[in-house]
């Protein structure tokens, strides 16, 4: 099977997990379930769940089933952050992935609650699937939840979102740009790899390798986003091209130029691939995924 | 010491726990920490943490230290829900407890992020304090987190907030009113008692007793709020009196009348006190607290 076919099958698999994971109970207001589903199934790439499951594969494939709630939780956390980010009080985006954003469909109040609901539910999902039977696995699993929680919060994603909001329409220095990148997007990508590794019982060396892969790919992902925002095709991205420029946001291409930025992505990819060499054939797909992230459509 | 003095000392104790629990790291944007602290220390009654610690006292006082992160997390979850509830897209309140609401001070975008931050941090706090050393205590503690997570989310508080938002400016039926009350406020109060009981290793009978106490007090709390909203004194409550009426919200007094509503509170209190009789002297303070909740200022 080609990489693209395998990736498509993977996304469908994750979608099925997410469908099973989302609540169906009668007692919950219908509009809340609908709004959660609307955003969770709005065409996400499922990058974080796939990274987590591939990290598992690198270490111990037998822990895969156990890790599925963690994978779904990562996607829910990512989705909630987009819903809140798109709000008028934040980035004020009307479209995402070519579809109206949550608050355009359900209203601002519901969008706030839907984000809250997804964040809270991601923890419920992870906590309700703690493997109570085996001590070692239980401790590993809890450490994986801790890792995700930290990356999603003030020390990670929310810290990055705050700095981004704080510096909107201001001239950024490069240090601040790096902080925003590594926290707003990088932290959760890094945590996807680390949580997978932890859950599968990785040793120190394995954990370090996957952490490094996550850091390199996470940064590359962001630089690629910056590049695509300049040269990307409006239809493909499903959002206004050049919006970062319009909001006077500092980007890698605006500092280093387009060609140099592309070269940086290439270097980051090479470093990422080198980091996971120790896993041999087990890391084949995750390596392909790294390439896919770095070479998206340009 | 009189009840009021003990309560005041208790609130100060909880405030100190919260001060210790909130993050201080340099790496986090200052404004985020300030905004979190602003709302956490805006004069809350600390009802949920106190209920949790008192539930512990009823079962096994030795588990108290272990439960403090849970107590702080409950208050942070409560605080985040108020910040989001006060947003213009939700209840649009400018004041709470006599102080400007979070979004009036820090702006709407920061208020959204601060709420997210407090919710996420409450889970970080609980998860980072899992007692890994003893199996039994660890499992009890995780079950307590599960209980809090469920009560805070779509099956509890967020479900209630959604229904409340959905039915705004609409005629409510009594069933819907009950759903809103029991979920929006009741669920987290009930969970405070249950999580405390679970963490302390309560048996079935003890857990049931504290659950019942929580349900009765939680409902009474809400009816008292409804009553105070009619007869309360603006300065004491720190918010506009009669705002529920203005928004055409259905309340207990509007259905049953003021006197009958007061009688219902009295009955609920008696049932609550009866439920915890089995704990004898250990439940003295929590019983006093129940009375305090039911007899607030009217």
Q: For A42-72, how does the pLDDT look when each residue is reduced to its tens digit (9 = 90+)?
A: 988 899 999 999 999 999 999 999 999 999 9
Q: How far is B30 from chain A (nearest CA, A)?
A: 9
**Does the distance separating the beta carbons of B32 and A154 come in below 8 Å?**
yes
Average per-residue pLDDT in chain A?
91
How do B95-96 and A99-100 pair as beta strands?
A: unpaired
Which of B189, B235, B292 has the alpha carbon at shortest distance from B97? B235
Could you give the angle at the alpha carbon of A64 between the alpha carbons of A62 and A69, nearest 5°?
A: 145
Max CA pair span of chain A: 55
Distances (CA, A) of B152 to A36, A61, A124, B91, B191: 16, 34, 10, 19, 9
**Does the distance separating the beta carbons of B108 and A163 come in below 8 Å?**
no
Q: How far is B35 from chain A (nearest CA, A)?
A: 11
Residues in B touching A121 (Cβ below 8 Å):
153-154
Between A174 and B219, the more confident residue is B219
Task: Choose, out of B127, B133, B187, the residue to mutate when testing the contact with A (most A CBs < 10 Å).
Answer: B127
Q: What is the pLDDT along chain B (298 residues), one digit of tens a residue?
A: 788 898 899 899 999 999 999 988 778 999 999 999 999 999 888 999 999 999 999 999 999 999 999 999 999 999 999 999 999 999 999 999 899 999 999 999 999 999 999 999 999 999 999 999 889 999 999 999 999 999 999 999 999 999 999 987 776 788 898 999 899 999 999 999 999 999 999 999 999 999 999 999 999 999 998 898 888 655 555 655 555 554 556 788 988 999 999 999 999 999 999 999 999 999 999 999 999 998 876 5
Give the number of other CB atoms < 10 A from CB of residue B26. 6
Q: How far is A48 from chain B (nearest CA, A)?
A: 18
**Distance between CA A125 and CA B255 in Å, rounded?**
39
Closest-CA residue of chain A to B26: A155
Give the number of other CB atoms < 10 A from CB of residue B78. 24
Q: What is the mean pLDDT of residues A278-282?
A: 97
Confidence at residue B1, expressed as pLDDT on a 0 to 100 scale: 75
**Does the distance separating the beta carbons of A128 and B146 come in below 8 Å?**
yes
Contact present, A290 and A272 (Cβ < 8 Å): yes
Task: Choose, out of A127, A137, A170, the residue to mutate when testing the contact with B (most B CBs < 10 Å).
Answer: A127
Confidence at residue A85, expressed as pLDDT on a 0 to 100 scale: 97
Confidence at residue A246, expressed as pLDDT on a 0 to 100 scale: 47
Closest-CA residue of chain A to B167: A29
**Does the distance separating the beta carbons of B108 and A130 come in below 8 Å?**
no
**Distance between CA A103 and CA A28 in Å, rounded?**
20
Q: Based on the number of CB atoms within 10 Å of its own CB, is B139 exposed (0-12), middle (13-18) or buried (19 or more)? A: middle
- Domains identified in chain B and CATH numbers: 3-294 (1.10.600.10)
How do B99-100 and B95-96 pair as beta strands?
A: antiparallel
Check whether A206 has a pLDDT greater than 50: yes
Q: How far is A19 from chain B (nearest CA, A)?
A: 16
Confidence at residue A189, expressed as pLDDT on a 0 to 100 scale: 97
Q: How far is A277 from chain B (nearest CA, A)?
A: 32
Distances (CA, A) of A68 to A53, A109, A125, B285: 8, 30, 10, 44
For residue B123, give the nearest of A33, A113, A149 by CB distance. A149
Residue B140's beta-bridge partner residues?
Answer: none
Handedness of CA B221, B227, B230, B235 (dihedral sign): negative
**Does the distance separating the beta carbons of B84 and A120 come in below 8 Å?**
no
Residues in A touching B69 (Cβ below 8 Å):
none
**Distance between CA A71 and CA B182 in Å, rounded?**
32
Task: Choose, out of B83, B108, B162, the residue to mutate when testing the contact with A (most A CBs < 10 Å).
Answer: B162
Residues in A touching B138 (Cβ below 8 Å):
138
Which of B187, B269, B190, B188 has the alpha carbon at shortest distance from B223? B269
Task: State pLDDT tens for residues A89-98.
Answer: 999 999 998 9
Place of tokens 């405390």: B196
Which of B46, B106, B101 has the alpha carbon at shortest distance from B73? B46
**Does the distance separating the beta carbons of A31 and B110 come in below 8 Å?**
no
**Does the distance separating the beta carbons of B158 and A117 come in below 8 Å?**
yes
- How many percent of chain A have pLDDT more than 90? 75
**In 3-state terms, what secondary structure has residue B167?**
coil
Residues in A touching B113 (Cβ below 8 Å):
84, 90, 158, 161-162, 165
Q: What is the mean pLDDT of residues A239-255?
A: 65
> What is the H or E stretch that residue B95 is in?
strand B95-96
How do A95-96 and A99-100 pair as beta strands?
A: antiparallel
Q: How far is B43 from chain A (nearest CA, A)?
A: 23
Residues in B touching A123 (Cβ below 8 Å):
123, 149
DSSP single-letter state for residue B233: -
**Does the distance separating the beta carbons of A119 and B119 come in below 8 Å?**
yes
Place of tokens 């007061």: B262
Residue A100 phi/psi, 5-degree rounding, is -60, 140
Confidence at residue B179, expressed as pLDDT on a 0 to 100 scale: 93
Q: How far is B81 from chain A (nearest CA, A)?
A: 9
Which of A80, A244, A270 has the alpha carbon at shortest distance from B117? A80
**Distance between CA A160 and CA A153 in Å, rounded?**
9
**Does the distance separating the beta carbons of B84 and A29 come in below 8 Å?**
no
Which of B135, B145, B133, B156 has the alpha carbon at shortest distance from B69? B145
Tell me the CA end-to-end span of chain B in Å, nearest whole number.
Answer: 24
Tell me the CA end-to-end span of chain A in Å, nearest whole number.
Answer: 24
**Distance between CA A88 and CA A232 in Å, rounded?**
24
The runs of H, that is alpha helices, within B41-63 are: 47-59
For residue B109, give the nearest of A29, A146, A165 by CB distance. A165
**Distance between CA B132 and CA A109 in Å, rounded?**
39
Q: What is the DSSP string of chain A?
A: --HHHHHHHHHHHHHHHHHHHS---TTS-HHHHHHHHHHHTS----HHHHHHHHHHHHH-GGGHHHHHHHHHHHHHHHHHHHHHHTSTTTT--SEETTEE-HHHHH-HHHHHHHHHHHHHHHHHHHHTT---S-HHHHHHHHHHHHHHHHHHSTTTHHHHHHHHHHTTTSPPPHHHHHHHIIIIIIHHHHHHHHHHHHHTT--HHHHHHHHHHHHHHHHHHHHHHHHHHHH--HHHHTS-TTHHHHTT---HHHHH-HHHHHHHHHHHHHHHHHHTGGGGGGGHHHHHHHHHHHTTT-
Closest-CA residue of chain B to A128: B146
**Distance between CA A39 and CA A96 in Å, rounded?**
10
**Does the distance separating the beta carbons of B162 and A31 come in below 8 Å?**
yes
Half-sphere exposure of B279 (CA within 13 A, CB side): 29
Give the number of other CB atoms < 10 A from CB of residue B47. 21
């Amino acid at each position: 099977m080609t990489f693209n076919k395998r990736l498509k099958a993977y996304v469908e698999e994750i979608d099925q997990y997410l469908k099973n994971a989302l609540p169906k109970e009668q007692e919950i207001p219908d509009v809340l379930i609908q709004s959660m589903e609307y955003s969770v199934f709005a065409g996400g790439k499922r990058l974080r769940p796939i990274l987590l499951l591939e990290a598992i594969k690198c270490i111990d494939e037998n822990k895969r089933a156990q890790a599925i709630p963690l994978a779904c939780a990562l996607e829910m956390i990512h989705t909630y952050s987009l819903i809140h980010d798109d709000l008028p009080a934040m980035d004020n985006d009307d479209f995402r992935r070519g579809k109206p954003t949550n608050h355009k469909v359900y209203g601002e109040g519901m969008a706030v609650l839907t984000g809250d609901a997804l964040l809270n539910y991601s923890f419920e999902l992870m906590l309700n699937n703690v493997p109570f039977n085996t001590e070692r696995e239980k401790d590993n699993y809890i450490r994986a939840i801790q890792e995700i929680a930290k990356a999603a919060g003030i020390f990670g994603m929310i810290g990055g979102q705050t700095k981004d909001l704080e510096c909107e329409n201001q001239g950024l220095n490069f240090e601040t740009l790096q902080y925003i990148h590594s926290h707003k997007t990088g932290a959760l990508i890094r945590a996807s790899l680390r949580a997978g590794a932890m859950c599968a019982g990785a040793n120190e060396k394995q954990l370090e390798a996957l952490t490094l892969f996550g850091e390199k790919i996470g940064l590359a992902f962001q630089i690629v986003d910056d590049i695509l925002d300049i040269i990307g095709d409006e239809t493909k991205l499903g959002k206004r091209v050049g919006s970062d420029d319009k909001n006077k946001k500092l980007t890698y291409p605006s500092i280093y130029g387009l060609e140099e930025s592309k070269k940086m992505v290439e270097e980051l990819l090479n470093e990422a691939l080198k980091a996971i060499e120790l896993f041999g054939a087990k890391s084949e797909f995750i390596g392909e995924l790294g390439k896919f992230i770095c070479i998206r459509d340009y």
